Amino acid sequence: MHAADARRTVGAVMLRADSTIDFAKTRWSLGGLLFGRWALARGRTVYKPRWRSGRMAALLAAQLHRPLAVLELDRRLLWVYRDRFYWDDECLGERDVEALVADRERRSRRRLERAHALLAAESGGAESAAAGREGIVLEVKRRVWERCSGRCVECGSDRLLEFDHVIPLALGGSNGERNLQLLCAECNRAKGDGL
């Protein structure tokens, strides 16, 4: 079985970031027809379509708010969203791309928060474990609530929310703001099952 077929059978959705492609202004022309237009380029390879400056400005403004398909190549779509490019092998829709990018950003934020919490726990040692037994300070709870916008960081629910330790207290985590997040009861239970 081909690797791409295997990915499809398990239901994996493929959206790959591509930092090697960008918009570039064309420098040469064919009879003056292409001068000053914008195109997608990777190294010396320039792809079609080409956009005039006015259309390019509109495209750049729109992609900040929603994903835009800008190129189809070998049955793959190239999307631009929030100044980043993504290849799609699965014929995704605009909302699918938006959801996957949001999920990627959320996971990246959580990974960074977890790394900061681990660093704080390692430098705090026994002090952080002792502080954990005292409970979460009200001001810290308020800041975590505001940072998470009163919603579960995993699913976005605003019901049955709990303060979750990114690094559990038993593993050296603290009650500090960087080590706390909001999870709904269901997501918190699922996280606990995965530890």
Residue by residue, DSSP assigns 95-141 as HHHHHHHHHHHHHHHHHHHHHHHHHHHHHHTHHHHHHHTT---HHHH
So what's the pLDDT on residue 111? 85
Which DSSP string do the residues of 49-90 spell out, in sequence order?
EEE-HHHHHHHHHHTTTS-EEEEEETTEEEEEETTEEEEESS
Contact between residue 113 and residue 181 where contact means Cβ atoms under 8 Å apart: yes
So what's the pLDDT on residue 107? 86
So what's the pLDDT on residue 49? 81
Question: Domains in the chain and their CATH numbers?
Answer: 3-92 (no CATH), 95-194 (1.10.30)
So what's the pLDDT on residue 4? 43
So what's the pLDDT on residue 143? 93
* Degrees to nearest 5, angle at CA 19 with 64 and 105: 55
pTM of the model: 0.56
The one-digit pLDDT tens for each residue of the chain (195 residues) are: 344 443 333 334 689 999 999 998 876 655 545 557 888 998 888 888 888 888 999 999 999 999 999 999 888 999 999 999 999 988 899 999 999 999 898 888 888 887 887 777 677 654 544 444 568 889 999 999 999 999 999 899 899 999 999 888 878 888 899 999 999 999 888 887 655
- Site of tokens 């064919």: 30
